[in-house]
A and B are shown apart, each in its own frame.
Chain A
Amino acid sequence: GQQLNQSPQSMFIQEGEDVSMNCTSSSIFNTWLWYKQDPGEGPVLLIALYKAGELTSNGRLTAQFGITRKDSFLNISASIPSDVGIYFCAGQRGAQKLVFGQGTRLTINP
């Protein structure tokens, strides 16, 4: 099945730094989503994007739906220790199932 290409696969940063990650696809999606998985837990939805070009914020998180509908970006500003985890992008076409990226593992050095 189709997969999304998510990068980077892992990030090691200092507390307080900003973080950027992205997701690309060869196909168009109508909805882009970003989930976060804390260690030992299931993923939790952070942000949903519904329109090309849309920019949405959730606290220190900002995500964008690419204008081509084939990519999306997630930024985290001023990282804190609780931001540690795995971030997944996901795309949806119509009413169908979600397709997930490979994940970005974020590690923060205090």
Chain B
Amino acid sequence: DVKVTQSSRYLVKRTGEKVFLECVQDMDHENMFWYRQDPGLGLRLIYFSYDVKMKEKGDIPEGYSVSREKKERFSLILESASTNQTSMYLCASSRVVHEQYFGPGTRLTVT
């Protein structure tokens, strides 16, 4: 069974803080993705990575950065958290792009 784990289920941070969201997968997948999920907007891609140290911008990369130092780990970084980044963040991994396995999500609240 593919397992994608995310470091926290719930997180509360203050405006201006630097926030790290961690994602780990155990299936040796090349591809990893970060999405945010908002009601009425579905899933929107923030960043993705096809290989270690490789990263590509998704549809909404502003205010975010990522790091992939090891194949199994993909981190999302909010350099200076803002209230409009309050959202559910989902990580996914895959061998082929369309068959993505998602983690349980991190619900981030920025106050």
**Interface, chain A (partner B; CB < 8 A):** 1, 3-4, 6, 9, 31, 33, 40-45, 48, 88, 90, 92, 95-98, 100-103
Between B42, B44, B104, B105, the greatest number of chain A beta carbons within 10 A of the residue's beta carbon is seen for B42
Q: Is the CB of B104 within 8 A of A97?
A: no
Q: Is the CB of A6 within 8 A of B60?
A: no
Between A33, A40, A100, the greatest number of chain B beta carbons within 10 A of the residue's beta carbon is seen for A100
Confirm or deny: B74 has a beta carbon within 8 angstroms of a beta carbon on chain A.
Answer: no
Q: Is the CB of B48 within 8 A of A42?
A: no
Q: Produce 1/0 per residue, B76-111, CB < 8 A to A.
A: 000000000000001010000111101111000000
Residue of A nearest to B38 (CB): A102
A95-B97 CB under 8 A given contacts A42-B92, A42-B102: yes
Between A3, A43, A102, the greatest number of chain B beta carbons within 10 A of the residue's beta carbon is seen for A43
Residue of B nearest to A89 (CB): B42
B6-49 CB contacts (< 8 Å) to partner A? 33, 35, 40-45, 48
Q: Which of A3, A45, A48, A97 is within 8 Å of B48, CB to CB?
A: A97
Q: Which residues of B contact A92 (CB under 8 A)?
A: 97-98
Q: Which of B43, B45, B59, B98 is within 8 Å of A43, CB to CB?
A: B43
